Amino acid sequence: MPKMGVNPEQTKAPKPVPGNQWYKLRVKKLLCKKSPKGYNYEAYTEVVENKPELNGSFVPFRANNGFMQAKAMNDFCHGVGLTLETDGNIPGDWKLKDSAKPDDFDGAEYSGPILGRTFEAEVVITVYNGEERNSIKQIRCRVADCAAKFPDIKHLTDLLGKNK
């Protein structure tokens, strides 16, 4: 009988890039996922303009539902050189997983100007379920004259908070 399976190399967790460094990252995908307390945003990014062995490495950006989510998404938008819309919406559109459920954003996928853009972020190594992974500690703002345009906004220098 024939056998079927998977590549055993693909069962291993991806190796994180070295931590405590700034990287240039390109946004490949942005998703919305349901959590017990609301919705989380997760961006799939990759390292660019670095050493050949690091280019293309996956680095996630997570903005989990809670107190810092709005600030984290604002920092993310400013990092790619865009601003949130005046109503707090992320510029662009979302494709719902099930168009028959217009109020259910679980699994929604973003399409808009953020995709393909790059940003600079301080990447660290954190541990989750016993596995090392990359996390983004802070994002460098690319909005010209941000402090003058948005005097009430202070960019976070520790997006991880208690989740270090």
> Out of 2-11, 62-71, 107-116, 132-141, which region has the weakest mean confidence (pLDDT)?
2-11
The whole-angstrom separation of Cα 82 and Cα 153 is 14
H or E segment to which residue 148 belongs: helix 146-149
Delineate the domains of the chain, giving CATH numbers in brackets: 16-149 (2.40.50)
From the number of C-beta atoms within 10 Å of its C-beta (0-12, 13-18, 19+), residue 86 rates as: exposed
Give φ, ψ of 137 to 5 degrees.
-85, -45
- pLDDT of 164: 54
The whole-angstrom separation of Cα 153 and Cα 14 is 35
Contact 155, 142 (CB under 8 A): no
| Half-sphere exposure in the Cβ direction for 62 (13 Å, CA) | 18
Q: What are 23's strand-pairing partners?
A: 121
- pLDDT of 162: 66
Asked if pLDDT for residue 1 goes beyond 70, the answer is yes
The whole-angstrom separation of Cα 138 and Cα 63 is 12
Chain mean pLDDT for the chain: 93
Contact 140, 22 (CB under 8 A): yes
Asked if pLDDT for residue 12 goes beyond 80, the answer is no
Per cent of the chain over pLDDT 70 is 98
- C-alpha pair distances (Å), 138 with each of 8, 30, 161: 34, 18, 11
**pTM greater than the 0.85 cutoff:** yes
Asked if pLDDT for residue 22 goes beyond 60, the answer is yes
- Angle (CA) 21-26-27 rounded to 5° is 120
- pLDDT of 65: 85
Dump pLDDT digits (tens) for 67-101.
899 999 999 999 999 999 999 999 999 999 988 88
- pLDDT of 67: 81
